[in-house]
Amino acid sequence: MKSTRDTYNARIAEIDFYFAALKQLDDKPIQSFGSSVEPVEKFKQDGFLKILKANALLMIYNLVESTVINGVEEIYDKLKSKGATYSTVRKEIQDIWFSYKFGQVYDQQAHFKSYRNKALEIVNSIMTGETIELNRNALPVSGNLDADEIRKFCNGHGISFTPDSSCKGGERLKDVRAKRNELAHGTLSFADCGRDYTLLDLNDIKDQTYVFLSGLLDGMKKYYDNEDYLMTGTSQE
């Protein structure tokens, strides 16, 4: 899981840099642009800083989604490289693969012949022991990830993880997801969103997210290293 962890660390560094810049802006009022007048004490309440705060929530959500997707994609890549087949993977992976393959029929003009041909393709793949292939399109992720959804997602793959209790079960991720969707769909302005958060709030959200995702990555790594995607009693060695 080195690739996923490396990407995760790079994004954390980016977020930490952003938060450091936010703190400087919040702590020190600045002079008006192009003016030599005294510092504008009301800058802290300026819409620009509120927008920057709202954007911090988007960065945190993007970290969450990219970590989940990159981690599972790396597991899928290992499935393929190991030549895992339908009969050797655990039931959760079988179900994901079947749903993914059958769902492809909706990319065609859906009628009886399409369903029949897809069913025959799936049966033939299972019978001949073709290697399982999954990718990002098999992941039911579209702006809907919070702690509960991540647990469901992991349970759906047979991945178990226990983040440190300091993140309080990742409870703040629910707010991050909700704000991300409101901002993405235009139902909430960036300035209105940022008005609701102090830097202390945002740092708490960020820190809880880091702890939660660290636990998730540990669980994914164990699943990956131990080849827990395989059916009990099987081996690809």
For range 78-88, the mean pLDDT:
96
- Return d(Cα 222, Cα 213) in angstroms, integer: 14
What are the extents of the domains in the chain? Answer: 2-83+159-225
State the pLDDT at residue 41: 52
Q: What's the mean pLDDT in 135-151?
A: 90
pLDDT of residue 48: 86
Mean pLDDT of 172-181: 96
- Phi and psi based region of residue 169 (left: phi greater than 0; alpha: psi -120 to 50; beta: remaining): left
Q: What is the pLDDT of residue 121?
A: 87
- pLDDT band of residue 110 (cuts 50, 70, 90) is low
Q: What digits encode the pLDDT tens for the residues 48-76?
A: 899 999 999 999 999 999 999 999 999 99
Model pLDDT, residue 27: 78
Residue 37: pLDDT band (50, 70, 90) is very low
Write down the pTM of the prediction: 0.88
Residue predicted with more confidence, 187 or 112? 187
| 172, 212 contact by CB (below 8 A) | no
Query: Which residues fall within 8 angstroms of residue 16, CB to CB, at 6 or more apart?
Result: none
